[in-house]
């Protein structure tokens, strides 16, 4: 179990082929006291894992030489890494990508660009979503869950023209 209140003892492996992403994410995580190791592809990442058992792995999916999908499969074959959380940190942000990542077994999903001020909190929430079995479907909120405007902001009982018609709004 990860101790989110005491990240100072963590070691995080960040694997991403984009140098700017590596630098920015490593800097933010270092700010929280984490030791950060980096790799630019899956081959380098696996090489690092021969000598390292990180607390957490952040893994880009689209990289040269060995992508994150393949690296994830290899990580899960290594006995001492079975319980290490692996979070996809990716530009794959289309509808269904998160579900595909979680269905593949990743412990969390974050899309790029990351929100730097909330990066650690976002990682925690991504992992919690998977652990708690939260519904990650991209579905609209139900009507019952749609927030209502405060009474002071709701429309009064007035006629509102719509095109050539006029309808009467009824306050809720």
Q: For position 133, what pLDDT does the model report?
A: 66
What pLDDT does 131 receive? 74
Distance CA 13, CA 96 (A): 26
> What radius of gyration do the chain's Cα atoms show?
22
Distance between CA atoms of residues 119 and 130, nearest Å: 17
Element at 147 (helix H, strand E): none
Give the 3-state secondary structure of residue 55. coil
Residue 16, pLDDT score? 97
DSSP of 115-144: -GGGHHHHHHHHHHHHHTT------PPPGG
pLDDT tens for the chain, 172 residues long, are 789 989 999 999 999 999 999 999 999 999 999 999 999 999 999 999 999 999 999 999 999 999 999 999 999 999 999 999 999 998 877 888 899 999 999 999 999 999 999 999 999 999 998 777 654 343 333 333 323 333 333 333 334 343 443 444 445 4
| Top-tier CATH class for 7-131 | alpha beta
Q: What is the pTM of this model?
A: 0.75
């Amino acid at each position: 179990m990860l101790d989110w209140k005491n990240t100072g003892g963590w070691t995080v492996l960040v694997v991403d082929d984009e140098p700017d992403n590596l630098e920015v994410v490593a800097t933010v995580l270092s700010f929280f006291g984490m030791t950060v190791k980096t790799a630019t592809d899956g081959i380098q990442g696996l090489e690092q894992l021969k000598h390292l058992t990180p607390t957490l792995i952040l893994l880009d999916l689209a990289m040269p030489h060995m992508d994150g999908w393949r690296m994830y499969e290899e990580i899960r074959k290594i006995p001492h890494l079975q319980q290490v959380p692996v979070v996809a940190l990716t530009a794959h942000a289309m509808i269904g990508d998160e579900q595909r990542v979680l269905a593949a077994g990743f412990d969390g999903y974050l899309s790029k660009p990351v929100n730097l001020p909330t990066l650690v909190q976002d990682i925690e929430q991504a992992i919690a979503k998977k652990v708690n079995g939260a519904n990650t479907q991209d579905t609209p909120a139900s009507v019952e869950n749609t927030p209502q405007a405060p009474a002071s902001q709701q429309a009064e009982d007035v006629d509102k023209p719509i095109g050539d018609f006029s309808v009467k709004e009824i306050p809720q």
